[in-house]
Each structure stands twice: as C-alpha cells, then as structure tokens.
Amino acid sequence: MKTFQADQIKNIALLGNSGSGKTTLAEAMLFNGGIIERRGTIEGKNTASDYRPIEHENGNSIFSTVLYTEFQNSKINIFDTPGLDDFSGGVISSLFASDTAVMTINVQNGVEVGTEIHFRHAEKENKPLILVINGLDHEKANFEKSLEMLKERLSSNIILVQYPVNEGIGFNSIIDVLIMKMLRYAKDGGKAEIVDIPADQAAKAAELHSALVEKAAESDEALMETFFTNDTLTEEEIKKGIAKGLRTRNLIPVLCVSSKNNIGVDRLMEFIVNEAPSIADMPLQINSKGNEVKPNPTGPASVYVFKSSIEEHIGEIHYFRVYSGKVIENLDVVNSNNGTKERLAQLYVSAGKNRSRVPELYPGDIGAFVKLKSTKTGHTLNVPGNDWKFAGVKFPEPKYRTAIKAQSESDDEKLGEALNKIHLEDPTIVIEYSKELKQIIVHGQGEYHLSIMKWHLDNIYKIHTNFHSPKIPYRETITKSAQADYRHRKQSGGAGQFGEVHMIIEPYEEGSKEATVQKINGKDIKISVRDKEEITLPWGGKLVYVNSIVGGAIDARFLPAILKGIMEKMETGPLTGSYARDIRVYVYDGKMHPVDSNEISFRLAGRNAFSQAFKIAGPKILEPVYDVEIMVPSDRMGDVISDLQGRRGMVLGMESEKRFEVIKAKVPLAEMNKYSTALSSITGGRAMYSMKFAEYAQVPGDVQDSVIKAYSEEEEEE
C-alpha cells in the first residue's frame, strides 16, 4: 500500500450531534477515495465505521472509529466520533490525534445540544473547525435558519464558502463562492460537474464572495495590504488566507453536503486536502523534557498511543500517531511509560474493522499495532535512547458512579477481568475496587454510558450483573478532647497477658501544637512530649501519635504495639464503620508486668482505650464534598441553582461565557447521585458539568442521624 509524507496527510475528527450524519459522511468519503466499493447505510448496519453489535442495536456511534481515505494524492485520516456526551472520551482522544475538526450540522435542526457541546470541545482543544451543513436533500431542509443559528450560538467567525441552490427534495446543486462556480451532481452524487453560476444567483454569489475575500484577508497582514490595494484577492490568495484563518480559528468555513446522496462530498474532500492544516502547520508537541518534537522523517521515531480496542479473533489493537521519524515494521522501541521493550512486528492502517498492512508510516500519519505486550492508551513509544513522553490525552473526570456486582459469585473473577478490558477500550470508565466500601464502584460520564457498559458485560462477556447504589466513603473524627484508660489482663495457666494504657485524644488541625496541659473531667493532666510520630493516612488526614510516658511506666518497645492497636480502630470508626482521621493521641501513662506484658497485650489495651475515648470525644461524620462546575444556558440558570440548593450545594460564584453561565459550587457527593440525568432533564440536555474532589466536611446533625440510622439497620440485616 502507498505511504504518504507529512504534508500529504490530513487528520480530521468528525464531530456533531447524534443523527447529524457523521458516519454517513465518512462512508461517502471512503467510497470516493476507493477504499470501499459500495456505500453502506446505518439502516443496513453495514457501514465501515459503526461495525460493532451495540452500534447496530442502537443505531448510533458508541465508540470513536479510525478510518482513512485517499484523495488527490493525499491521505485523509478520519475519526468518526460519537454524538452523545456520555461518550465524550472518544471525541476528546480523536481531537487530540487530529489537526482539524469537521462538524456536521443537521439542516433540519440547526444547532443542537451535541453541536454546542462538540463545538466547546474543539474550542478547548484549540482545533481548526470546518462546518458542514448536511441533509440538504431533506424536505424540511432550512439552510438559512441553520446558518443563522450557527452564527448566533457558536461564533461570529463563521463564513460561507458554499450555499445550496435548490435545497429540499431534488437537491443537486451548490454554489461555491471560493472558486465562483456551481457544482451540479447526478442523482447518485459522486463527482461534480462544474458549471458557471446561473444569472439569477450571480448577485448573491458575488456578495458572498466579497465577504469571504474580506474574511480571508483579515487572517494575514500582507493579504490585507493586497486587498486594500487591489480591492480583491486571487483565488490562490483567498485559499492562503482561509488556511491561515483556519489555523488561528479566526475563520470557520461553512460547506454544504448531502452525505446520504454523496452530493458535495468530493468538494469537501478537496477543501480539506487544500486548506486544512497538516502536522507541519500545527503547533509542535512538547515532550516531557520540555523540548519541541519536530515532525522530521529522519528524526528519532516517536509515536503516541491515543486509543486501544479489543477485537474478536485479534485481541488488543493500539492506534497511534507518528510525531517524529519513520516507523517501519519490526522496529524495536521502548515504552517510555513503563520501560518495557516492544517490537512493532506488524503495521496497519484502519478503515473501521478492515485493516491493511503498510511497510512504513511518516510523521502525522495514523496507524495501528497488534500483539504488543505492555502498551496501552496514553503510552509513548520511542526508539532506544529517547526516553521522553508526551503529556497526551486529558480525559474528563467521571461524573456518574454506581456499584456493580455479579449475579453469580462464581463470576466475580471474570467480572474483574472484563471491567479491566472495558477500561482499556474506554479510559473514561474508571474501576475502583473499594476495600473500604466493600463494593466495586464504576465511574463514568453518565447513566447511559454505564448502561452501555452493562450491555457489553451481559452480551459480549456473558457476565450478568446488577447495579446498586454506591456507598459514600464517609470519614469519622472527633470534636473535643477525651481521656480513657484500659487494662488488658488474661491469665489461663502458664504465661499471662498484661498491659495497661492511659491516653488522651483530641482533634488535630494542620499546624497545631501539642498541648502541655489537658483538662479532663475538671482535672489538669500534665503532658510532657518525649517523642511523636506524624502519620499521613492512606485515606486522607493524619494521626499524630505522641509519646508522653514519664518514669518508664511503659517500656518504649511496647509503644509500636499500642500504635498498631490504635490504627486498627482508626480503620473502623464507631458511628458508621468508616475510616477515622485528624486525631492526636497522647499516651501518657500505664502499667506493665515484668513477666506477663507483651506486644499483643499492649496492642489490645491501646485499641480498647482508643475506642472508649473516641466514643466520648464528640465523634462526627465527615462527608466528601466536590467542586462542581456547570455550564448552563442562561435561561435555565435559575432552575439549576434551585436544584443545587436542594442538594445541599453551596454556590460559590457565576461567570458568563458566550451564551452560557458557568456556575461554580461545592456539593456533597451523597447528593450527586444520578445528577447527570437530573441536569439533562432540567436543561434539555444543553448543560455540561464536571466535578472534582475538594475536601471532607462535617455533615449537618440531621443528616448524621439518618446516616447512622441507615448504617445500624444495614449492620442488623447482615
């Protein structure tokens, strides 16, 4: 198969709302490039892109798919992405690996929820954007309304390159105001017949051509001077201005297609080949050593794996982008993320489930590896001697969580293996095996996201599972000082057990000093700090263990045993059995026996003394609180804030961003269950949100009572 140099390769991510025609457009592009012999359809379940069983069942894209086509001696790598926000991981990884976003707009609906969301993703990744108004053959096509919505709700930088002559049933002609010609298509589409613009369209075309020339000139100072001198630009100068404006996002061109009938697709492909940037035109990747990685074919080979999948009969497939050097078959490389050596025995390019062997790939190109040992999404592979890494894809934080359990205990091990494979394919599904909660917690982007995961478990892996409400990882602490002592004595023939421990516990705050006197039950107890150990707890917070023993009441060799006993109780607080944190313990007195004292005696004495003191030290439950940021349409802001307040949320501030309001709030995790579903209902799916752990905070008294009651009832049931 032919290989391509960097300047011959264009990488595009197809974005757009579900149902806007991304997959059908990709199909037409592959057909026009001769990669497939006939165009499949969504209804026929035979497209190159949506080839997985779940996509056939649902009728839309669930995963991003890597495709390619060839056109005019160039290669276009295509990433067909899902339209639903629950599957945004595929959108974000595709944007990372591409140089241009091509967004399809359903002409019947104009700007939809997914349009706005995907536009924000492309904006955040700072990718050039081409808009494609699709479905112009539909009886309800309304091009002007769609264009008006695009300018109003997305960007003022939108500029027409094409407009339809006869939208609706029978649509077959497009005016291209860049080349100032009309494109006329046969019934089955394909290659355009290029003819002169009809007289009745001449004035409109000229006006739009002038607007395009002016917008192109704005992208470059030299072009602007030429424009002022000549009052126009040549076609080549316009193309140069468009290309530069695309790269800076100061110009967002609009083209027209009917992907279903393959009308306008050839001209779109030509526009991508001529105007869209290649890797050489885009900002250089910066590696972990702070150096720019140039797309030099003679440089050291370096690739980044942006996607992994598991295919039947093949196993793991890893999709990568070449950033430097030439990648050839049987190349020995080192995985810079884990230090393992890999041999790239076979190189492929992919058109969905169909793959073709290639001998080599150059910078900017997209390929696939199979049969690698220790490589997955997010890894960098380099030739030996180059140990840098790429920062890579930043996947969104999880927004939805549920507990999962196999219906049959015999499937527990298989479930763990299956979940790890699912995470490999979709890193936005995060698996947490919580020893603390005694649950497997699955985190994802939404309820639908995890229901699709469950479909795979049921149908592909044949593991039947149930979802359960996830428990909340509460923490327990104390609010005042308390004292307790405990004597452990056991005598049953032979050597006995004896250990007595006196301790005081108090709340710990970062930076606070140890007390010299503690007032307990009206009595002052002097504290002499001889030694202390500050322990950062694995579950957050600290335990400060202070040795205040005077006069050798307890031998120093028994102090670690007392600490071990305290740690055992820190793992099971008395209120809900949750981890305890932020406590300072003073061991200030005790007794020992010259024969019967041993480590186990003091471990038990320390554990019981701590437990008694904890219960009378004003124990409180702490709950995890998250920073939540919601981007919401202005007209729905009041409803969203009202809902947050009903969730015990504290609104910290608001700021405007275009037609949206960004609400920043702190909300307890316990109140965020199924929030993605609720927010979608409140805003008609137009809002986006992210959440990130912020802190632990005390729960209100009434909430604490209900949590303790629920825990007690659960303990009784068990």
Contact yes or no for 506/484 (Cβ under 8 A) = no
The answer to whether 400-471 and 622-713 have equal CATH topology is yes
Tell me the C-alpha distance between 345 and 368, whole Å: 11
Q: Could you report the per-residue pLDDT of 275-291, keeping only the tens digit for each?
A: 999 999 999 999 999 99
List the strands of the sheet with 482-490, edge to edge.
Answer: 482-490, 497-507, 583-591, 542-547, 531-536
> pLDDT at position 473, please?
94
Residue 173 parent element (H or E): strand 173-176
Question: At CB < 8 A and 24+ separation, what contacts does 152-156 make?
Answer: 153/111, 153/116, 153/659, 154/111, 154/115, 154/116, 154/119, 154/252, 155/119, 155/252
As a whole number of angstroms, the distance between CA 691 and CA 397 comes to 7
Residue 469 burial (CB count, 10 A): 11
Buried b (16+ CB within 10 A) or exposed e, 189-227: beebeeeebeeebeeebeebbeebbebbbbbbeebbebb
Fold of 6-172+253-281: Rossmann fold (3.40.50)
Chain segment 422-454, per-residue pLDDT in tens: 999 999 999 999 988 999 999 999 999 999 999
Mean pLDDT of the chain: 93
Half-sphere exposure of 679 (CA within 13 A, CB side): 29
d(CA 288, CA 302): 13
Whether residue 606 contacts residue 503, with contact meaning beta carbons closer than 8 Å, is answered with yes
Kind of pairing between the strands at 9-15 and 100-106: parallel
CA angle 385, 389, 390 (to 5 degrees): 140
The count of other CB atoms within 10 Å of the CB of residue 636 is 18
> Model confidence over 376-420: pLDDT tens digits?
999 999 999 999 999 989 999 899 999 999 999 999 999 999 999
Residue 471 carries which DSSP code? P
**Global pTM value:** 0.88
d(CA 529, CA 394): 47
Per CATH, the number for 622-713 is: 3.30.70.240
Whether 1 shows a pLDDT value over 90: the answer reads no
pLDDT at 493 over 70: no
What is the residue type of 675? Y
- The pLDDT assigned to 608 comes to 95
Burial 151-180 (b: 16+ CB within 10 A, else e): bebbbebbbbbbbbbebeeebbbbbbbbbb
For residue range 324-343, list pLDDT tens digits in order: 999 999 999 999 999 999 99
Characterize the bridge pairing of strands 129-134 and 100-106: parallel
Q: Is the pLDDT of residue 69 over 80?
A: yes
What are the extents of the domains in the chain?
6-172+253-281, 285-382, 400-471, 476-618, 622-713
User: For the domain bounded by 476-618, which CATH number is listed?
Assistant: 3.30.230.10
Report how far residue 693's alpha carbon sits from residue 344's, in angstroms, rounded to the nearest whole number: 40
Q: In what order do the strands lie in the sheet with 400-406?
A: 430-434, 439-444, 400-406, 465-468
| Cα(613)–Cα(543) distance, integer angstroms | 15
| Maximum average pLDDT range among 306-315, 491-500, 559-568 | 559-568
Question: Is there a contact between 306 and 393 (Cβ–Cβ < 8 Å)?
Answer: yes
161, HSE (Cβ side, Cα atoms, 13 Å): 29
CA atoms lying within 13 Å on the CB side of residue 8: 14
Class of domain 285-382: mainly beta
CA distance 211 to 320: 40
Mean pLDDT of 193-219: 95
d(CA 179, CA 519): 89
Angle at 280 between CA 274 and CA 283, to 5 degrees: 115
Query: What's the CATH number for 400-471?
Result: 3.30.70.870
pLDDT digits (tens, 9 = 90+) for 576-635: 889 999 999 999 999 998 888 899 999 999 999 999 999 999 999 999 999 999 999 888
